[in-house]
Structure 1
């Protein structure tokens, strides 16, 4: 299940023409019943290369603190729904 989420996030990032980031960690903080689905709440941690040409459009990226690898770290909330029964799921996840 987590692998599907990571693939979806990476695919979205690859399609986005504005910036390039790398998912470094996915934290699942809570799972709840939500009708016929399971609601998953968490956080996704990214890194971005401030020197990459594709990231030049990000405001003040050059001024952001960097980690030991010279990358800028940031995170985002994550919310998605997974069907409880895989019989009718057709391999889909709602992000």
Structure 2
């Protein structure tokens, strides 16, 4: 649980760094009026939200394929089915 939290925190801090970098880059290159700065904040936020979403779906909470082994689980001795999968899907049966 702690390692998952630390991975989450690291990935979200990366998104925050992207937000700051995009805002800073836009404010450095383009005009700095109040309306423009607000638009730069919005642009940085949208880019950072995209980075955070992709990092969470691709790195933190990625879906395991059927051929990928499950970690920290038990298997039925006679069929190899994951008991957690059986518990989550009560209609699934050993074949």
TM-score tier (shorter): under 0.3
TM-score scaled by length of structure 1: 0.25
TM-score using structure 2 length = 0.25
The structure whose residues are more often helix, as a share, is 2
- Structure number with the higher strand fraction is 1
Which has the larger Rg? 2
